[in-house]
Amino acid sequence: MIKPFKLRVPNNTLNNIYNKVKKYPWTNIQNMNGWEHGTNLKYLKEISKYWLTEFNWRKQEKKINKFSNNLTKVDGISIHFIKENGSGINPMPLLILHGWPGSFVEFLNIIEKLAHPEKFGGKKEDSFDVIVPSLPGFGFSGSSNKPIGPRKIAKIMNKFMTKNLGYKKYLSQGGDWGATISNWLGYDYSKSCKGIHINFLSMRHPRGAKTKQEKNWETRFEKQQILQEGYRTQQATKPQSLSYAMIDSPVGTAAWILEKFFSWSDIKNNKIDKVFSKDTLLTNIMVYLITNTFNTASWIYFGRREEGGRLFPKNFKKIKVPTAIAEFPKEMSEWPPKSYVKKIFNLQSWTKMRRGGHFPALEQPDLLVNDIRRFAKKISKTL
């Protein structure tokens, strides 16, 4: 059963958040310039002031409600999703999956471009049925009663697409956890998931690097990740302890999330506002706050560790569905050599973008949309 969903956050929920932002004890924070040690204090104060004086949640709510929002249940978990039917005669279903610390908000500005290309100088026949869910534990979706990982979420997403929405075949796109879940959709559910388009690689081949070039990449990756391991280790081992603090501190939640949007994106001269508007950043943060899902959204890290971590199973066999890679230059980690990637995927397309980072739907939406469209056209005759 699918039920229409309209977002209307109670005023007292909003006021509770704003009051906590207003009362944040700024004088207790030691000022450290720049972003090297974490979220910049000057910027955090600036965006918090904007939050209280200029940010308009109702305006963002209206933007979200412009789309067809729905709720449905899969394996007892309520799944929130936006569905925009394409303009063409027979649009290909496209499942778009977010990650952490993102949300469905990342994709609000590309949904219509994908579903109605004729409105943006394209052709109707290139349209998609666009499906954008909130992952289990995130946003307006419900959660399981304990942490689950991306492979289990892939099972839920495939059932959602094939049983609840009735699609016999579809494409999946994602970055961050969305890419990982797409990997598992292509691996476990190739009868229905007919292609994956990813802009991030988190999974690893169980037999590891073989060539000198691959081993050098592996060494560089380990060094690059040293300063990224803190949040990941915390959320993969003791997510509950962190959540006790975050659930009561909107400013703390904002700082935890903003640091990733800064450090994983194509930011020049430390000017985050040149890439993301304050409205966009705060809307994404507000989704975590008004739903109280900071806790359950972090569970996916714990769940992946229980599923085996980065490694595919020891008996891993190459993912056979056509795969496209969109490589953005300021991604949080370097892509492996093509020889390594080809051992994992049936690689059909690899586009090296000239700019952009970990959040391409927000940073470089047209580059992402055009690459998805090219890939879909390329493989459409084989589907």
- The DSSP result for 237-256, as a single string, is H-HHHHHHHHTT-HHHHHHH
CA–CA dist 31, 222 (Å, integer): 30
Instruction: Check if the beta carbon of residue 189 is closer than 8 Å to that of residue 154.
Output: yes
Axis-axis angle for helices 299-307, 239-246 (nearest 10): 170
CB contact at 8 A, 156 and 77: yes
Q: Which residues are catalytic, by number?
A: 176, 301, 358
| 93 strand-pairing partners | 129
Q: DSSP character for 317?
A: -
Handedness of CA 147, 101, 5, 192 (dihedral sign): negative
Burial of 14 (0-12, 13-18, 19+ CB in 10 A): middle
Amino acid at 64: I
Dihedrals φ, ψ of 164, to 5°?
A: -70, -45
Residue with tokens 């996916």, as numbered in its chain: 300
Burial class (CB in 10 A: 0-12, 13-18, 19+), 8: exposed
In whole angstroms, give the CA distance from residue 28 to residue 178: 37
Q: Hey, which residues does 347 pair with through a beta bridge?
A: 323
Closest CA to 296 of 69, 176, 140: 140
Best CA proximity match to 197, nearest among 379, 33, 39, 366: 379
Using CA atoms, how far apart are residues 280 and 6, in angstroms rounded to an integer? 20
Per DSSP, the three-state class of 169 is coil
Give the CA distances from residue 218 to residues 215, 223, 226, 238, in Å, rounded to whole numbers and listed in that order. 5, 9, 13, 27
Residue type, 31: N
CB 189 within 8 A of CB 320: no
